[in-house]
Amino acid sequence: MALAAAVLVSGCAQTGYAQISKGNWILINRGLQVQAMVTKDDVFHLNTYSNAYYTSIHWLWDSNPSLMGTTPGFPWSRWVGDETKVPPLGAEGSHLSQLVSLQLGDEWNLNDAATRTRAVNWFNAIRNNFPNTILYMNNYGGQVGDAQLGDFITRARPDMLSFDAYPWRSDYVSRNPIGGSPTSWYGDLRRYREHARANNIPLAIYVQTFHAVQDYDQTVYRDPSASELRLNHFGALAFNAKVLIDFTYNTGASSLFTTPGGDSNPTALLAERTDANRRARNLGKALVRLKPIADVPFPDLHTTSMMFLRGKTSSGAPNPIPIGFVADPDAPNSYTDWVANRNDPYLRGWAVTNKAGVKNNGQPGDVIISWFKPLDESFDGPNYTNEIYVMVVNGLTDPAGAAADCLQEIKLNFAFPFGITGVDMLDPVTGQVQTQTLPVVNNRRQLALKLNGGDAALFKFSDGAPFVGWPVPARLNLQMRSNSAAISLQGAVGARYQLEAAASLPSTNWAMLTNLVLPSSPYMFTETTSSNVSTRFYRVVSVP
């Protein structure tokens, strides 16, 4: 027997995953989800959908498995109207291995005790039937009280929380678009973020990709601009959302296509959505393995693990602060509560400039800074602890124009100790980690980020620790046991590996032995067919 050299693999490292919830584990396995609501009753092209970097189809009530590709098909999710509509229905049975998530009902009144108990009973009745599928329920942002939502979570044990709130609107009378910071949406995000992380489950949000007029409450939902669409994505990710669902995709109200024709005639916004999806998926390689750092437990429970650098309105007034955040006592008009050395050891100051100078009368917009840490301490190996990741989002948007019209330069100043000279940055376009040595400006190392409206950056301090979700070396060891090959794979728990074998080297004919998410390290795989051959070579490769 012979053993091939190990190659680089990607993933996270830990010795077990009992502390990681089912929902988080599925997302580590499948990746951060960017989905869209698809109706079977209008034209749908799988190629158009997959080319836009969506990860899975999300069927609006009823599915059409014939549109999902050759069995087992493209990954999918579905709304479930009531207890009688649980999969598999029709031809869904042959596609169950690709079922990512099920939303049980939509916007049920969980404030009502009887309705809440019905939902609890539904979850408990079907949970064991879907060990590899995320089960969750969705409500609109302010629909359910905190106590009632907490009771539902405790008793129903959903795998994920989800809410919808659509911030991009126009005036009902004039139909002029309403711009500015989406403060109420941030408040909903913060509230659901707290419920999700308190229960160690992921968060999903609905993204506004529709237009509609609601005469009953005089609300006009308009198509988002490029910068607003991006903020809808990356602002949510900064609040620890890990599933983004477009409402809607190929219905007549979609912002992404003109009618008629379902998804046949794309608007310019589809190209923006495609780029945002790609960036979200690349950032998601790390984000599904991260969680927010802890807040300082103040009596009012305000958030300290995130900070808003307060932008200004076009007239120069400070933007309002979202519910759950408080103004910093030292600079109340400049940023929310922040103290040096609390969230990370190095940040000492910043400057924000509306670099494009095209929108908001040249005034700066909001900037969101969010601090994360590994979902499990062993994700970056046994030699590092307390690693901090920082996400920065440009919150400046405008209802019209290009995302570049809202470009801001965000300068962050760090007091690094000897041995640290830069940051490791996850490139959202390529998905590659790039180490950046930072210049010294006024005795500080300075990171200068130029972000278009709504865009984001994710980095960690360059201290030698691996970037979670990024390739780390793997090793294979081989022992013969009773004429079988016992192959020990030592690497990154939570990463997907493909173990392959060949009869000779070099080879263009590697046979797959197993494809798995590594449950422990080392992991033992036994190949019984190896007893029939005299020479065998093995290798392990990562699977995106």
Listing DSSP states for 372-389 in one string gives EEESSGGGB-TT--S--E
For residue 486, is it within any domain?
A: yes
**Distances, alpha carbon 81 to alpha carbons 62, 188, 344, 474, in Å:** 9, 25, 45, 45
Q: How is residue 9 written in tokens?
A: 């693999």
Tell me if 272 sits within 8 A of 285, measured CB to CB.
no
Residues spanned by the domain of 191: 31-288
β-strands 367-374, 306-309: how paired? antiparallel
Q: How many Å apart are CA 223 and CA 229, to the nearest integer?
A: 9
Report the pLDDT value the prediction gives residue 532, as an integer from 0 to 100: 64
Number of separate domains in the chain? 3
**Does 357 share its domain with 486?**
no
Q: How many Å apart are CA 138 and CA 247, to the nearest integer?
A: 13
**Does 108 share its domain with 74?**
yes
Tell me if 197 sits within 8 A of 375, measured CB to CB.
no
For tokens 């940040």, the residue is 347
**Does 349 share its domain with 491?**
no
**Does 104 share its domain with 37?**
yes
End-to-end CA gap in the chain: 29
**Does 433 share its domain with 508?**
no
**Does 54 share its domain with 123?**
yes
pLDDT tens, the chain, 544 aa long: 333 333 322 333 333 444 899 999 999 999 999 999 999 999 999 999 999 999 999 999 999 999 999 999 999 999 999 999 999 999 999 999 999 999 999 999 999 999 999 999 999 999 999 999 999 999 999 999 999 999 999 999 999 999 999 999 999 999 999 999 999 999 999 999 999 999 999 999 999 999 999 999 999 999 999 999 999 999 999 999 999 999 999 999 999 999 999 999 999 999 999 999 999 999 999 999 999 999 999 999 999 999 999 999 999 999 999 999 999 999 999 999 999 999 999 999 999 999 999 999 999 999 999 999 999 988 887 889 999 999 999 999 999 999 999 999 999 999 999 999 999 999 999 999 999 999 999 999 999 999 999 999 999 999 999 999 976 667 888 888 777 888 998 876 666 788 999 988 998 899 989 888 777 778 889 887 755 666 888 898 877 6
**Does 98 share its domain with 192?**
yes
**Does 342 share its domain with 491?**
no
For residue 399, is it within any domain?
A: yes
- Specify burial of residue 260 (Cβ count, 10 A radius: 0-12, 13-18, 19+): exposed
Q: 223, 254, 288 — which closes off a domain? A: 288
For residue 56, is it within any domain?
A: yes
For residue 25, is it within any domain?
A: no
**Does 454 share its domain with 479?**
no
For residue 510, is it within any domain?
A: yes
**Does 457 share its domain with 480?**
no
For tokens 């590899």, the residue is 132
Listing DSSP states for 139-187 in one string gives EETTSS-HHHHHHHHHHH--SEEEEE----EE-TTT-PEE-S--HHHHH
CATH number, domain of 268, equals: 3.20.20.80
For residue 24, is it within any domain?
A: no
Report the pLDDT value the prediction gives residue 530, as an integer from 0 to 100: 58
**Does 456 share its domain with 479?**
no
Which of 412, 460, 454 has its CA nearest to residue 434?
460
Tell me if 116 sits within 8 A of 104, measured CB to CB.
no
Three-state DSSP state, 367: strand
**Does 192 share its domain with 117?**
yes
Three-state DSSP state, 228: helix
Q: How is residue 305 written in tokens?
A: 């693990």
For tokens 């899975």, the residue is 56
Q: How many Å apart are CA 478 and CA 526, to the nearest integer?
A: 10
For residue 133, is it within any domain?
A: yes
Q: How many Å apart are CA 488 and CA 509, to the nearest integer?
A: 22
Which of 320, 276, 89, 93 has its CA nearest to residue 186?
320
For residue 300, is it within any domain?
A: no
Tell me if 436 sits within 8 A of 425, measured CB to CB.
yes
HSE (CB half, 13 Å, CA atoms) of 236? 33
